Structure formats: C-alpha cells, structure tokens
Amino acid sequence: MIRFDDVVVRYPRAAVPAVDGVSFDVPVGTITAIVGPNGSGKSTLVRALLGRVTLERGVIRVDGDDAATLDRRELARRVAVVAQREEPAFPLPVPDYIALGRHPHAHLWSAADPGATTAVARAVEDADVRQFMDRATDELSGGEWQRVRIARALAQNARALVLDEPTTYLDIAHEMSAFELLDALARRGLAILVVSHQLNLVARFADRVVLLHRGAVAASGSPSDVMRGDVLEQVYEWPLVVTRDPAVGAPALLPLRRRRNA
Amino acid sequence: MTPASGRAALWIVLASALLAAALAGLAIGPVRLTLAEVWYALGGRGDVTAVAIMRDIRAPRVVLAGLVGAALAMSGAALQGTMRNPLAEPYLLGVSGGAAVGAVIAVAGGSPFGVIPLGAFAGAVAAVMLVLAIARAGGRRPDPRVLLMAGVVVGAFANAVIMIVLASAPADSVRNALWWMMGSVAGATWGQVGWFAAYGMLSVTVLLVIAPEIDVLALGDDAAASLGVDVDRAGRRAYVVASLLAAATVAAAGLVGFVGLVVPHLVRARAGSRHRGVIAAAALAGASLLIFADLVARTLRSPSELPLGAVTALAGVPFFLFQLRRFR
C-alpha cells in the first residue's frame, strides 16, 4: 500500500540527512511500526509522506504512485494521517471537527459529499467517540482528543492510516485501547503505519517493526527480530534487557538503572 | 436551545440589526424623516427635498458604509482563520500602513483630493506584496507567524515613512492626510458604491469558494496537509484575497479600525465552525456596525462630523473587553 524506497531527506543547512536511505513496505491488513530514539528520523518520514519536506533521493509510493506527484486531495483520499500535534485555532464542535475529514472528498460548492454521512457515522462508531459528540474540541481530555482525531482520520475513508506517536500523554488504559483500535482496523484491511516510543506495545501489536537509528534502518522485521537486547542497547545507547512477556509471549523490554560505580 | 435553532436565531438577529441600522441611517440626520417618508422618498415620491436627500446623500452613504463594514469584517474573519490567530486582521497585516503611506504621499505631493483613494489603494497593494516578499525571503516556508511578523514590520516601516513625509509637508496637506486617515464615508456617491460593490463581489466570491480550505487551515499546517490542502499556496491565496478586499475599503473610506478585528469575534462562536457561515455572519454584523457608527459620527456633534475610525474604535473597545471575558 505504502512503500518507502531508498528515501533520503535533508533539512536545509543540515550537515547530515535526517533520513538516509530508508526503505520499507506498509502492506494492507497489517500494523507496521517505526521505532527509534528521539531525532532518529521517524516524524520526518511522516512529513515526507505528506509532502511537507522534499526528498533528496528516493521515492514514496502509494498504491504504486509517487506520493510527491500525486494530487494532494487524491493522496488524502488514500492515506489519512494523525500528526503528532494539532491544536485548532478556534475550538469547534466534535461532530464538525470529524466532518472535516471529508474535506478531500468534498466538491467546491457543495457543503458535503454524498458519502459523508455514512463515513462520519462509521468513523464515530469505529473510534468509539459517540459520547463526545456534544462537546467542543477544547473540552476533551488528552485521550479523548486523540480518539476524536483518529475518528476524523477514519472519516477520510482512506485505506492507509498513519499515526505519529498516537499514545503520547495517554494512560495505560487509553494506550491499550488505542492500539486495540489500530489492531481491529488492520484486521479489517487497513494499512496502518504507527510511529511510537512504546516498544512494549509495539512488540505486542505490530506485525512488522522498523527500527531507525540516525536516519537509517538499524533493523526491521517481526517484533522478535528487531527487539533484541544487543541491537536496542546499541541504538538507544542505554543498558537494557529483553525478556519475554510470560502472559502474551511477546518480547518485553526492560531498561536498566545505571550502576552507580559502573 | 439546539445549535440549529440557535443558528437560525442568529441569522434573524443579524438581518434585523442590519435592517434597523439601515432604516435609522436613512431616517436620521439634519432633516429627520419618518419611516413612511423614507419609503416614499426612496421611491421618488413625496417632497422633492426629501427625495434628493435620500437618493443623493443618505442612501449612497448608508450603502457604502454597509459595504465597507461588511468587507472589513469578512476580511478579518478570513485572515483570523488562515493565520490561526485571533488577533489577525487586515490592518495588522500591513494593509493600513501601506494605504496610509500611499495617501500621505498623494496628499503631500500636491495631488487633488480625489487622487487620495488611488494612492491609498496602490499603497495597500504594495504593502501586501511587500509582506509576501519578506515572508518568502525569510527562508523556509512562509508560515502564518512569519507572515504576521512581516505585516508588523511593514506597518512599522510605513509609520516611519508617514512621519518623514508629514514632517516636511505643508500644514494644510498634513491636515487633509490626517483627516483621511481617520476614516469617513461622507460624500459617498453611487459611483463609489458601484465600483466598490463590483470589486468587493469578486473578492467575496473567491473568499466564499476557498472558505472550506480556511476551515482546514485553522486546524494547523500538518493537519491541513494531511487533509489534502497545499498549505503554503492556500494560505497565501486567502491572505492576498482578504487583504485586497481590505485595500478596497481603504480606498473607499480611509482607515476604519477595529471592525475587522472585533466583528469576527462577535459572530464566530455563534455562527458555527465553518468559515462560510462565519464570513457571511461577519458581513451582516460588520455592515450593521459601520452603518450605525457612521450614524453616530454624523449626528453626535452635528453639523460637524466625528471621524468614523474614532467612533468604531470607541464602540469596539467595550465590545472587545466583553468578548475577552469569554476567553479562558
């Protein structure tokens, strides 16, 4: 569905590229996770997909078409993105906010497109945000706002969903329910790409993990392939052990305290 | 009250306010007319003097005030959404400074009074272009903050130019320029109304067409980009159209402050979250406000007139303070 092919991004006046020759696939029906330390180029990949930064080399393909030359509205009909941060300039009612997900489908003059009502209703159902519909965007908690943003992205009716750190500021229950939601969406045939710092959640939910280190892919494959103590320790530059979660069998990461006299 | 019935109530209130302001503007003046006389005079019947006052003086003046107020309010509503900033308004973004420079140069250069609007318009357009150029030269992408700062810089530069020109200009031309800068729709003609309406109609149509893009831009750059909007181009387009609309008001009525800032705030919370609605509601409210302000300007100390810009500022400040309480 989405394919990053040898992507190189360099910010103006930067000595080294932020993303340096990254290639991976995001197939439909799966969750693909990008992990890596701060500044490893995760969000830059998302910005590159959106056309917010230009590629120095390589190509990002969406359904085989070059994302850079694809019409922006067409791109938005294929790929929905929940960016890292978002604050509307003026608070708006939640239903109106979710309906903005229909923007790529709307025509110039008509207030709404034919599929709007069903798409919005379904997005509200899937993201489980019905109970927030009588509130405004500035009357939601962090977790509620995140769900409402996912609902807006779902209203786009795209076959790919990209989320940049969707669980920041969320407590355990909201974190889990967000990933459960992604899991359900993937099983329904969406291609999910999630940027996350929550390695233990990623290990349990993702089908494929791409580990970035200084803009390049340090490891990729199944969670068990990538979540190896030696690899992670080197990338994160922090002592850690990887065990196996006894309850679910997924790899589990435990960062260690630094020994005082070490 | 449900949002839908609240919305309907808002439109009824706005339409009634505009009607009331227009009738008051037509009826009240040195020669006070009853509503029946207004009606007859507009139709060309009744007292010849009343017909002349109505058709040649008051009606064009009321209509021009309404159009200018509507244009300023629409421009402000669009700019606040585009810039994601509740303080954005045409005057903050260089338009007023550029217009004032153009007008002052025209006056100080000894041009006849009728040339001032042209100078003002040229100055406003030049300022808009300058702001865009500065924002682009600022490197990277011209994001709203850069555009806003560029506007402030151009405004400051304009102020300096005005001071220099006025310091070396003859006293009576200084007075002319100052008077013009305070705003007025006195002496409005149907010709003025005609060209302003034609020009304004064009800008407003474009503004309403791109209004859904402004809805999305108000969410922020990344969100707007993910919804298929070319953030840079859409933002620039909205800025240019809104600013050119404001530039025309400057040519028609001089500098009338506060309308573009205050009116969008008055209607925004009530007209819904979509900018088509906000812009339309701002137009009605802005028209009513300016017709009313002009009525105050010409009757409070009749036969002499108060500057229109001073009246809108005096009326705008308490309104704005009231609105501020709603911010949390």
pLDDT score, position B2? 56
Tens digits of residue pLDDT in A174-183: 889 889 999 9
Tell me how crowded residue A73 is: count the other CB atoms within 10 A of its CB.
Answer: 16
Contact B227 A108 (CB under 8 A): no
Tell me how crowded residue B205 is: count the other CB atoms within 10 A of its CB.
Answer: 11
Residue B239 has pLDDT above 80, yes or no: yes
* Residue A139 touches chain B, beta carbons under 8 Å: no
Contact B273 A90 (CB under 8 A): yes
CA–CA separation, A101 vs A261, rounded Å? 55
Average pLDDT for B70-78: 95
Average pLDDT for A244-258: 83
Greatest mean pLDDT range, A112-121, A162-171, A189-198: A189-198
Tens digits of residue pLDDT in B220-234: 888 999 999 988 889
Residue B205: list chain A partners with CB under 8 A: none
Average pLDDT for B13-39: 92
Angle between helix B275-299 and B190-217 (nearest 10):
140
- Output the CA angle B82-B88-B91, nearest 5 degrees: 120
Contact A85 B230 (CB under 8 A): no
Encoded tokens for A157: 């009716």
Give B32's DSSP letter.
-
Give B46's DSSP letter.
S
CA dihedral A180, A184, A185, A188 (to 10 degrees): 170
CA–CA separation, B315 vs A164, rounded Å? 47
Q: Which of A193-197, A214-218, B89-93 has the lowest mean pLDDT?
A: B89-93
CA–CA separation, A39 vs A41, rounded Å? 5
CA–CA separation, A60 vs A95, rounded Å? 33
Instruction: Name the residue with higher pLDDT: B92 or B304.
Output: B304
CA–CA separation, B306 vs A93, rounded Å? 42
In contact, A212 and A40? CB cutoff 8 Å: yes
CA atoms within 13 A on the CB side of B115: 11
Residues 6-25 of A with CB under 8 A from B: 12
Q: List the one residue out of A65, A68, A10 whose CA is nearest residue B230.
A: A68
Residue A156: list chain B partners with CB under 8 A: 227
Contact B212 A92 (CB under 8 A): no
Residue A113 has pLDDT above 80, yes or no: no
Residue A104: list chain B partners with CB under 8 A: 227-228
Average pLDDT for B267-288: 91
Residue B135 has pLDDT above 60, yes or no: yes
pLDDT score, position B144? 73
Pairing of strands A31-35, A191-195: parallel
Greatest mean pLDDT range, B8-22, B154-168, B239-253, B259-273: B8-22
pLDDT score, position B327? 58
What chain A holds in terms of domains, given with CATH numbers, is 2-236 (3.40.50.300)
DSSP letters spanning A88-114: -SS--BHHHHHHGGGGGG--SS-SS-T
Encoded tokens for A104: 């790529």
Residue B1 has pLDDT above 60, yes or no: no
Could you say which of B218, B222, B272 has the minimum Cβ distance to residue A89? Answer: B218
Q: Which of A42-46, B9-13, B130-134 has the lowest mean pLDDT?
A: B130-134
Distances (CA, A) of B178 to A30, B20, B151, B255: 68, 32, 22, 10
Cα–chain center distance at A242: 24
Tens digits of residue pLDDT in B176-222: 777 778 888 988 899 989 999 998 999 999 999 999 999 999 998 88
Secondary structure (3-state) at B272: coil
Encoded tokens for A30: 């799966």
Q: Which of A113-122, A205-214, B6-15, B136-145 has the lowest mean pLDDT?
A: B136-145
Residue A112 has pLDDT above 80, yes or no: no
Tell me how crowded residue B106 is: count the other CB atoms within 10 A of its CB.
Answer: 25
pLDDT score, position A241? 86
* Residue A106 touches chain B, beta carbons under 8 Å: yes
In contact, B28 and B158? CB cutoff 8 Å: no
pLDDT score, position B318? 82
pLDDT score, position B254? 87
Distance of residue B266 Cα from the nearest chain A Cα, in angstroms? 13
pLDDT score, position B314? 87
DSSP letters spanning chain A: -EEEEEEEE--TT-SS-SEEEEEEEE-TTSEEEEE-STTSSHHHHHHHHTTSS--SEEEEEETTEETTTS-HHHHHHHEEEE-S----SS--BHHHHHHGGGGGG--SS-SS-TTHHHHHHHHHHHHT-GGGTTSBGGGS-HHHHHHHHHHHHHHTT-SEEEEESTTTT--HHHHHHHHHHHHHHHHTT-EEEEE-S-HHHHHHH-SEEEEEETTEEEEEESHHHH--HHHHHHHHTS-EEEEE-TTT--EEEEEPPPPTT-
Distances (CA, A) of B249 to A93, B153, B181, B184: 33, 22, 12, 11
Going by pLDDT thresholds of 50, 70 and 90, the confidence category of residue B168 is: confident
Kindly give the residue spans of alpha helices, DSSP state H, lying in B138-182: 144-167, 171-181
CATH of domain B3-324: 1.10.3470.10
Could you say which of B212, B215, B226 has the minimum Cβ distance to residue A81? Answer: B226
pLDDT score, position A110? 60
Going by pLDDT thresholds of 50, 70 and 90, the confidence category of residue B328 is: very low
CA–CA separation, B72 vs A175, rounded Å? 47
Encoded tokens for B287: 């028209």
- Output the CA angle A44-A157-A52, nearest 5 degrees: 20
pLDDT score, position B213? 93
Tens digits of residue pLDDT in A142-151: 888 999 999 9
Q: List the one residue out of B239, B212, B229 whose CA is nearest residue B82.
A: B239
In contact, A30 and A208? CB cutoff 8 Å: yes
Q: Where are the domains of chain B?
A: 3-324
Exposure string for B261-272, b = 16+ CB within 10 A, e = fewer: bbbbbbbbebbb
Cα–chain center distance at B78: 12
**One-letter amino acid of A163:** L
What is this model's ipTM? 0.88
Contact A153 B226 (CB under 8 A): yes
Percentage, residues of chain A above pLDDT 70:
97
Residue A80: list chain B partners with CB under 8 A: 226
pLDDT score, position B145? 77
Tens digits of residue pLDDT in A54-82: 899 999 999 999 999 999 999 999 999 99
Distance of residue B223 Cα from the nearest chain A Cα, in angstroms? 6
CA–CA separation, B66 vs A115, rounded Å? 40
CA-nearest residue to B208 within chain A is A109
